Structure 1
């Protein structure tokens, strides 16, 4: 007997990514079980139940995809854990306390958490970790350059920080102890072993990220460009289906893509 279609809910149904997620859920063979908006009002062009409360949505879903705001993370984690609903989380910029709430939820339900659900970004981030391990900070300066649309309110982007964190993990250090961001004025020479960030904003760029390693004798660059936000929606729906048979734990897109079974 065939398994029942996966019931997927979308937190923030009326957002730019939320609307794309609604389309991709149906295209991927899932059931769009509902969504949330701040006031519970229906979303034009999307035919599904709409709720103002995440707990109401959770009881009708096998998994909820969540690209909302950092201020909702603690409440969403508690609600989904209480209902036994799996969670695909793309919200970035979490504090330590908010991350603890995600970790706590992952003790009760399966969670995929990622700064970016693009398969290409996932691979670039993995390579950044491997390059960080192979190219020591004493010889190779690591810089991360990102550019986004003019409406983006945070910098560096969550994806850029994830790439920087991957470089730091490869080098066996903490990003927070080596980050250089927002250089301006007379800053003095670059610190040895620093991981630098530069953020550009303009137009309607969906997302561009480059990880650059430079030594005295050579330079290596990894670049990823997103042309359409749909790539994030497609990846998140893929993660939702992957979660169907997983036990409670915290996963990421490397798990979804099967990369962690590949020997380093």
Structure 2
């Protein structure tokens, strides 16, 4: 029986909610090896539970890695993408609200290494996006409204997932409108409503546990490693 060496990964944005979930779940996976955790501020402790910690300003000193997983802030994406390009390492990026520098850096990376950027790594949302596109294509001329709800600490609105769903609908001729709610500790809810005369359809996804996004990102990292340069989607990585 052939055994494979664990996949060496970097968690970028390790101090955030997603970063903490990724560290916890990766530690439970024998096929993954976290070689570095990166946060914006300098760490108070260099090694925590066997994982070396680095500040974002210390990217050049990271050990070799196969895939970086990024859930940080928009201003931190460009430097990480440039490092991945230099090293030929894959990048799984989930940071939304990217600035121009981040977008340019991701485009440059995709010319040299595999990249997946997604506003949401839930496998259910990947399927929802497909359903929205199919429904919008069949219901030409119907009103399209997207309502998203998240916790009070989420900064960008509409959410990246809402915009992705809207792009799927717009690609089929719909004209999406958005509404955003920020309340309590809501992990994430997205409703796409298509309304015609006397009838409407609602397509809904509700996340009740943030671990679904972390599991999806780890799934993407496993499937992205070893692929050729290019930009991939979560749907591309659903199957082997």
TM-score, normalised relative to structure 2: 0.92
Listed one character per residue, the Cα deviations across residues 181-234 of structure 1 (whole Å, up to 9, x for unaligned) are: xxxxxxxxxxxx531101111111000000000000311110000101111100
1:24 — aligned with what? 25
Displacement of 1:96 after TM fit?
4.6
Matches within 5 A, 1:85-234: 85-136=89-140, 138=141, 140-171=142-173, 194-234=175-215
Give the superposed CA RMSD: 1.8
Question: Do the aligned partners of 1:88 and 1:113 also contact (CA within 8 Å) in 2?
Answer: yes
Whole-angstrom distance in 2 between the partners of 1:118 and 1:108 = 26
1:55 — aligned with what? 60
What SS does the aligned partner of 1:68 have? coil
Whole-angstrom distance in 2 between the partners of 1:203 and 1:39 = 27
1:35 — aligned with what? 37
2:217 — aligned with what? 236
Question: Do the aligned partners of 1:11 and 1:54 also contact (CA within 8 Å) in 2?
Answer: no
Displacement of 1:54 after TM fit?
2.5
What SS does the aligned partner of 2:193 have? strand
Question: Do the aligned partners of 1:22 and 1:46 also contact (CA within 8 Å) in 2?
Answer: no
Whole-angstrom distance in 2 between the partners of 1:220 and 1:55 = 50
Q: Does 1:245 align with 2:205?
A: no
Question: Do the aligned partners of 1:14 and 1:43 also contact (CA within 8 Å) in 2?
Answer: no
What SS does the aligned partner of 1:22 have? helix
Listed one character per residue, the Cα deviations across residues 83-107 of structure 1 (whole Å, up to 9, x for unaligned) are: 1111000011124553232111011
TM-score, normalised relative to structure 1: 0.84
Between Structure 1 and Structure 2, the one with more strand by share is 2
Displacement of 1:44 after TM fit?
8.8
Displacement of 1:43 after TM fit?
7.8
- How many pairs align? 235
Question: Do the aligned partners of 1:28 and 1:237 also contact (CA within 8 Å) in 2?
Answer: no
What SS does the aligned partner of 1:108 have? coil
Gapped regions of structure 2 (runs ≥ 5): none
1:262 — aligned with what? none
Gapped regions of structure 1 (runs ≥ 5): 172-192, 260-264
Whole-angstrom distance in 2 between the partners of 1:60 and 1:203 = 40
